[in-house]
Amino acid sequence: MTIEALRGRIGAELERTRERTCALTDAVDGDDLVKQHSPLMSPLVWDLAHVGNQEELWLVRDVGGLEPVRCDIDHLYDAFKHPRRDRPALPLLDPAQARAYNRTVRDKVLDLLDRTPLEGRPLVDNGFAFGMIAQHEQQHDETMLATHQLRAGAPVLSAPPPPPSRVAVSGEVPVPGGPFRMGTSIEPWALDNERPEHEVDVPAFFLDAAPVTNRRYAEFIADGGYADPRWWTPEGWAHRLDAGLEAPMHWQRDGAGWAYRRFGRVEPIAPDEPVVHVCFHEAKAYATWAGKRLPTEAEWEKAARFDPASGRSRRYPWGDEDPEPHHANLGQRHLSPAPVGAYPDGASPLGIHQLIGDVWEWVDTDFHPYPGFVAFPYREYSEVFFGPAYKVLRGGSFGADPVACRGTFRNWDYPIRRQIFSGFRCARDPLAGEAG
């Protein structure tokens, strides 16, 4: 890609991302923007100004070396200084001020983009810093979408329904054992925790061909899954009792069945959609009940990227080309997961479906650095989160944008979290004499 083409791509990504940010914040009035809809989430107006502040810090000041726009607000939008529950009490920019601030910062950034050499130092090589900021804003857009899901009141968001199922998908798929290349050293906008590429030897295993659906999860509930400690880890059972978990978040009884409150609308659960809004402990309990387990992160990535025919790791399950609408349910085009079998063009060479998009998938791996990890461009992006407190999620969701979702992309969260668009699929080891 030429430098001019790269500038064009960066500009398009920044513009597309800002349009989404504006749509999510313009959908509600000022009172809703400053209100905290859940102690788990920031007020929407905090996210709105935070994305502009990060853009100013990294692009206006660090890349451009320009005078600050508003250095007096840096401490207000430092996510490490103020827990989400405390942010409503801060003297935040009001909605009009936040929008004006973001416009000023973006004008400076677009001017900077036209004259910044996109090579010569790691922060700008291949437009990395610009790509990092686009990804950061899209991640906050997904967070704001999750805030909308927690918001009480009449619906304010709309989107067409996802496509129907096109092929029947069921059962599990054998994934052959052996080494593969995990992570990346060449993806230009990959973040530090995705690097470097390294070889991992993964024994043979079986993986579900699709994420666990609402129908299957309802069977777990009906069989007393939430009442039987046999299926839960000690930590998971303690959390189930403490939090009073009885079903996925946003599920409610509907006669003999279940309904789901989704972005202000209540409707019966769609049986063939991947289950969403479950925590790691719920996913692990279901897998144990089903006689299976959750995949490890390396297993998930091998299933998503390894091509047995060529022996190489691809960028995505379908190949190396960027995601298109026929590949995966990404980018908030729809406001729900798509039914299993809706994206056959996105299947892996082994025939595993919907590894990208629809729901973030919990894997049974703590968030740790890869061998040879180097923090870049700052420790607080990944390094401070490494350790057993966080579990990894992979694959993206219907609310994740393609620019912030790759076959190597790693998400992480506390194992009790379920306000995120999280689901899962199961794995198992081969039985004696069974080929994996």
> Mind listing the pLDDT tens digit for each residue in 81-107?
999 999 999 999 999 999 999 999 999
Residue 334: phi, psi to the nearest 5? -130, 165
Mean pLDDT to the nearest integer, 5-23: 97
pLDDT the model gives residue 213: 98
pLDDT the model gives residue 434: 79
Q: Tell me where in the chain the CATH 1.20.120 domain(s) lie.
A: 3-150
Q: Is the pLDDT of residue 433 over 90?
A: no
Q: Is the pLDDT of residue 436 over 80?
A: no
Identify the helix (H) or strand (E) that includes residue 394. Answer: strand 387-394
Sign of the C-alpha dihedral, residues 187, 191, 192, 194? negative
**Level-2 CATH architecture, domain 3-150:** Up-down Bundle (1.20)
Mean pLDDT to the nearest integer, 128-150: 98
Which residues are paired to 316 by β-bridges? 319
pLDDT the model gives residue 432: 80
Q: Is the pLDDT of residue 301 over 80?
A: yes
Taking the domain 159-436, which CATH number applies?
Answer: 3.90.1580.10
Q: Tell me where in the chain the CATH 3.90.1580.10 domain(s) lie.
A: 159-436
Q: Is the pLDDT of residue 187 over 90?
A: yes
- Strands (DSSP E) contained in 283-421 are 306-307, 312-313, 360-367, 387-394, 410-413
pLDDT the model gives residue 359: 98
Identify the helix (H) or strand (E) that includes residue 115. Answer: helix 95-115
Number of residues that make up the chain: 436
Contact 322, 314 (CB under 8 A): no
Taking the C-alpha atoms of residue 135 and residue 146, their distance in angstroms, rounded to an integer, is 17
Q: Which residue has the tokens 């279940």?
A: 258
Mean pLDDT to the nearest integer, 308-322: 97
Q: Is the pLDDT of residue 435 over 80?
A: no
Count of C-beta atoms within a 10 Å radius of residue 70: 17
- Structure confidence by residue, pLDDT tens digits, 18-74: 999 999 999 999 999 999 999 999 999 999 999 999 999 999 999 999 999 999 999
- Structure confidence by residue, pLDDT tens digits, 369-406: 999 999 999 999 999 999 999 999 999 999 999 999 99
pLDDT the model gives residue 199: 98
Q: Is the pLDDT of residue 272 over 70?
A: yes
Q: Is the pLDDT of residue 1 over 90?
A: no
- Predicted confidence band at 13 (pLDDT cuts at 50, 70, 90)? very high
The 3-state DSSP class for residue 209 equals coil
- Predicted confidence band at 15 (pLDDT cuts at 50, 70, 90)? very high
- Structure confidence by residue, pLDDT tens digits, 248-257: 999 999 998 9
Identify the DSSP state of 268. Answer: E
Higher pLDDT: 434 or 213? It is 213
Q: What pTM, to 2 d.p., does this model score?
A: 0.97
The Cα angle at residue 406 between residues 58 and 159, in degrees rounded to 5: 90
pLDDT the model gives residue 332: 98
Q: What percent of the chain has pLDDT over 70?
A: 100
